[in-house]
Amino acid sequence: MAIRAPVIETETARLEMSYEEFLQWADEDTHAEWVDGEVIIHMPPKDIHQATLGFLHRLLGLFVDLFNLGKIRIAPFEMKLGRSSREPDILFIARENLDRLTEDRLVGPADLIVEIISDDSVYRDRYRKFQEYRDAGVREYWVIDPRPNKQRADFFRLDEQGEYELYATEDDERVASHVLPGFWLRPAWLWQADEGDPFLAFCEMAGLSETAVSQFRQQVQAGLKSER
């Protein structure tokens, strides 16, 4: 599948400093990234961004935890790649690569990264991070744009030549991950993230019927009542 041309939009203003100065300047409440001597300060995310982030984080977390596949982290958490320090919206580190995960940051590439586009991040996510993640060896990269009248999703994977191949888009009914065997999602879920239920999506992925899910919930509710 051919790579669609990126939409180019202007990035926000940047500050100049070394990586060491950046570490001293930033704190846990700072949402910023460092790239080759420049700091990019992010605007506060909008609700649609956070709703999409929350839905995907919970859905991926259910799957990863169930099968003990590795670790999920969400922004703000640093991933250090050569001459850049990024804070992906969601990153997954496979169990075999957990030695890259330290108390302070991920040193080296994640196995799967999800970036959710905001008004000020289109160029950054579709062009700059695309190149950085590809060159660093991030095996799978999802770029999700849930903004009204946009609703675009691009799913990339590294090919044998180390280039990103676009293997699915929002036009696909189901998209299967190559880094997480057995995991799939419906892009349509992403546009309903605020009302969507990650647990129900997970159950659909697992092939459970609505009746089975309803019975499970009734059993849990009955158990909770009996403990009161």
pLDDT digits (tens, 9 = 90+) for 205-220: 988 888 887 887 788 7
pLDDT score recorded for residue 14:
66
CATH 3.90.1570.10 fits 14-196, yes or no: yes
Instruction: Enumerate the domain spans of the chain.
Output: 14-196
pLDDT score recorded for residue 215:
83
* pTM (predicted TM-score): 0.86
* Bridge partner list, 107: 80
Q: What percent of the chain has pLDDT over 70?
A: 93
pLDDT grade, residue 4 (50/70/90)? low
pLDDT score recorded for residue 9:
42
How many angstroms separate the Cα of 164 from the Cα of each of 112, 132, 161?
13, 11, 9
| 182: exposed, middle or buried (Cβ count in 10 Å: 0-12, 13-18, 19+) | exposed
* Between 27 and 61, the higher pLDDT residue: 61
Average pLDDT score over residue span 161-183: 97
Average pLDDT score over residue span 84-107: 97
State the SS3 of the chain. CCCCCCCCCCCCCEEECCHHHHHHHCCCCCCEEEECCEEEECCCCCHHHHHHHHHHHHHHHHHHHHCCCEEEEECCCCEEECCEEECCCEEEEEHHHHHHECCCCEECCCCEEEEECCCCCHHHHHHHHHHHHHHHCCCEEEEEECCCCCCEEEEEEECCCCCEEEEEECCCCCEECCCCCCCEECHHHHCCCCCCCHHHHHHHHCCCCHHHHHHHHHHHHHHHHHHC
pLDDT score recorded for residue 164:
98
Q: Express each pLDDT in 173-206 by its tens digit.
A: 999 999 999 999 999 999 999 899 999 999 999 8
7, 119, 173, 181: CA torsion to nearest 10: 90
pLDDT score recorded for residue 7:
44
* Bridge partner list, 184: 176
pLDDT score recorded for residue 101:
98
pLDDT score recorded for residue 13:
54
Packing angle, helices 198-205 and 47-66, rounded to 10: 40
Q: What percent of the chain has pLDDT over 90?
A: 69
Q: Express each pLDDT in 18-30 by its tens digit.
A: 989 989 888 777 7
| Residue 222 CA neighbour count, 13 Å, CB half | 6
15-19, 32-36, 40-44, 157-161: least confidently modelled range: 40-44
pLDDT score recorded for residue 12:
53
Q: Express each pLDDT in 105-159 by its tens digit.
A: 999 999 999 999 999 999 999 999 999 999 999 999 999 999 999 999 999 999 9
